Each structure stands twice: as C-alpha cells, then as structure tokens.
Amino acid sequence: MKYNYLAITTAIFTLSLSNISFAQKKVKPNPLKEEVKASVDQRFDALTDLSDRIWSFEEIAFRETQSAKALADYAEELGFRVTRGVAEIPTAFVAEYGSGSPVIGILGEFDALPGLSQNKVPYKSPLNEGAPGHGCGHNLFGVASLGAAASIKDLIDQGKIKGTVRFYGTPAEEKFFGKLWMVRAGLFNDVDVVMDWHPAAETKAAVQKGLALVDFQVEFFGQAAHASADPWNGRSASDALELYTSGINYYREHIKPTVRIHYHIQDAGQVVNVVPDYSRIWVRVRDSSREGLVPVWKRVEEMAEGAAILANVDYKVNLISGVHEVLVNRTGSAALQKNLENLGSISYTEEEQNFAKKIQEATGKPQIGLVSKIEPMEETAEHSMGGSTDVGDVSWVVPTIRLSATTAPNGTPWHSWAVVAAGGMSIGHKGMAYAAKALSMTMVDLFQNPELVESVKTEFKEKKGDYVYKGFVPDGPPPINSNLQ
C-alpha cells in the first residue's frame, strides 16, 4: 500500500445497497519525499559502485583509508564541504551542505571485520583467504547514509528546504568505537537531530537500547627463568593470567543475567621452556545500562590485583574504550515508522530469494528467504540484549533516530560470511537504497516540521534527565597505532 488515507471527516453516504461511497480522500504524497526517493534512484548506480568498492577494500578499524577516501571524495564531488581527519583520526571526516538551522546529522560507518573475506556466492568461499570482510554490512551503511544526505542536498540546492545536512564518516565501529573520539571532539555539539541506520535481517525502526560496554586490557609483569633448570627464580605472568580468568569465571555465577563478560587472551608467553614474564588479556564487560555496567567493570578490574598478588607479579590495567547503551527516541522513531509504512517492504526477485535460501540452507536455518515486512513499531524493552554500538554515545549528546533495513537473509549468523556475501550483491544494494530513501524521507520531516524537531528534543531531554554524559574513553589520542590491533 503506497498511500495513507485520511480519516473520513464528513460522511456523505449515497444510500445504495450496491454502491456505498464515502467522501474518502487519499493523502497527497509529500512531493519532497517523492523527490528524495527519485534522487536515490537516480544515484543508484553510483551508490552501488561506491558500496561495491568499499566491500572489496575490506578495511578494518582505523585502517579504512581507501574506504573513507572514496566516501569523502564522492561527497566532495557532490559539492559538500568536507573536513577530513577530524577528532585526530585520519579516517574520520565530516561532509556538510547548506547553512543555518536546523542541523540534521547522519552517521555512516565503513569498517570491515577480520577474517571474513567472502565471494558473492551463497556458500562459504573466501575471496582473499584470511582477509577481512564486511560481515556487518558497513560497506552499505556509509553509502546509504551519504546517499540520503545527497538527496537532502538536492532539496537545499533547489531552495525547497533550509538548513544544514551533515554526514559523519565514522570509522572503527567494530573495534575501538571511533565515534567516542568524535563525540569527545565536540563534533555533535551543534546538531539538532542525528539519523542512523544499520544493515539487518529485517526492516524496522530500531528502538532497542543494545548494551553498554567497556573494554580494558590487563597486563601482568613477572620474571623470566628456565622453566626446568631454575623455575624458583621465575614469577609467571601466565600463572597470573590463568588465576585472573578463573576469578572472572567464578564471578559469573554472582552477576545479573543482563551482564556479559568476554575476554581474549592476547599474550601468554612464547615458548614452553621459559617462565613467561609477560601476559596480556583484553576484557569486555557489558550490561543493559551503564549503571549496571560500572560496578561489575570495577569488580573485574580489582580482580587483576588479586591475581597479581597470588602469582607474585606486577600488573597494569589500561582502559581502551567503551560505549553507552542507546538513548532511544520514540518520537523520532514514530516519524521514521510512518515513512517505512509509506515505502512498504522491499521486493525481491526469485533469484534473490533463492540466493537467500541457499545461504539459509548452508547455515542450517529455515529456508524462509528474505524478510522486510514492516511490522508495527516495537516496545522498547527495559533490558534489551544483543550487541552494542558507539551510536549509543552519540545518542546521549544529541537525539538519534535509528533504522534497521534488510540486507541479509533472515536468521543467518551476523558477523559471518553470509552477511558479506549478501552485502556484496543485489540483496545488499536494495537494502542500501531502501535505507537511503527511508532516512532522507524522515529528514524531510525534520526539515519541514520544526515542531517535530522540538518534540524529539523534548523527549531526549526528559529521558536524559540530569545525567552529564562522559564517555568511557581514556585521555590522550585515539589508539590509531597502538599495539591493540
């Protein structure tokens, strides 16, 4: 269904059994929304080409040099004012068009994940063995958002709307949460509303909070010795690490079900005949809110001291970064929802559905194909589960409206080869174009309707209350060249 219908205001009945006609009137399509949709269609080939190039660059966190350049160059060609290397991050940039108020921002990610390189086929087949791949669909993410910004630019150009559209090229979402440093640099301080989307296996206004998290490293420093000839001269950093993880794993029984703790042992000695004098572990703690997160995080940090005492070694804790849960804006999401209902679901060819079903077969999931049906807007759960995003931090400094759009088959594992495959072909391209349309239509609402912007802001202020945002980010520059990679 393409159009909404106005409620019947005046009932004029023609009383006839065979023909009851109502004074029913179609809502006129908003011409500006029709124009932004047409702009996306008109740029479809260019956007698809850009997405495919970023897909094939396969660049991971803070290494997205070619991907960031491709997006920034395209924005510049379109006439955006582009500032590269913002927030001390070479691959972060801002592209702006127009002037004055309102300032509507839109986020675009473009980093890949290690080890997920994949051909555009519905079975596991690495394109470049061991190389990264776009297992979270960020090749589509940045491009759709820039496509949406470009459609708004067209309207500003023609004098049909007034204000500023600003695209944020936001790197390193997958590993370090690049937006943290962009928020810290004050890049969102003058924005009225931010829009955002994410590739997904369904299409909906994204109204769940996700999880807050914090990442830190623990290093243990011991004394090396021959593991057999004089082990009494050794103090083992590896022993400390094992004791530490044991402590964490016992602690799991005494934490709330909303908490998640993961760790990655990065260094536990090199050879078997040396008492290791150094070990390092990356620890991640999550909970459904930062209030729940902080005490668990502090407790897990403290355990490092206990482990160090037991193993008679020294230790050091380094905060890496962390994110807030998302501050959901339901007022803005409701405006987005109306546009989704207006757009309807994405239509797929039989070939695309077959591709999706083959992926589902290969990953042991029901072969139901692609799902992009628009359901009513969900309730926002008090404790949502799932992943985390640095969009959370943006959402605590500026009201943020979020979309999920179908770019991969339903039910298949995320962060996997399946997402890379679908994101590199027409299934992904359709999701990208759909997202660009839904986002730009909602931006039209924001530009045309100052009351909407005000009510979005009112909800934001009420929900934020007196909390003064402070990111989980250490002092100093972002970890672009650290040994954390």
Q: Which residues bind Zn ion (CB under 5 A)?
A: 136
Q: Which residue has its beta carbon closest to Zn ion?
A: 136
Nearer Cβ to Zn ion (290/402) = 402
Measured between alpha carbons, how far is 404 from 414 in angstroms, rounded to an integer? 14
What DSSP assignment string belongs to 320-378?
A: EEEEPPP---HHHHHHHHHHHHHH-PPP--HHHHHHHHHHHHHTT----------PPPP
Nearer Cβ to Zn ion (342/407) = 407
Nearer Cβ to Zn ion (136/343) = 136
Nearer Cβ to Zn ion (422/453) = 422
Nearer Cβ to Zn ion (252/262) = 262
Nearer Cβ to Zn ion (136/218) = 136
As measured in angstroms, the least distance from the Cβ of 326 to Zn ion is 13
As measured in angstroms, the least distance from the Cβ of 199 to Zn ion is 7
Nearer Cβ to Zn ion (134/357) = 134
What DSSP assignment string belongs to 395-437?
A: HTTS-EEEEEEE-S-TTSPSSSHHHHHHHTSHHHHHHHHHHHH
As measured in angstroms, the least distance from the Cβ of 32 to Zn ion is 30
Measured between alpha carbons, how far is 458 from 81 in angstroms, rounded to an integer? 30
As measured in angstroms, the least distance from the Cβ of 352 to Zn ion is 22
Q: 10 Å Cβ neighbour count for 326?
A: 26
Residue 247 CB burial class (10 angstroms; 0-12, 13-18, ≥19):
middle
Q: Which helix (H) or strand (E) holds 83?
A: strand 81-84
Measured between alpha carbons, how far is 25 from 49 in angstroms, rounded to an integer? 41
As measured in angstroms, the least distance from the Cβ of 173 to Zn ion is 6
As measured in angstroms, the least distance from the Cβ of 382 to Zn ion is 24
As measured in angstroms, the least distance from the Cβ of 420 to Zn ion is 12
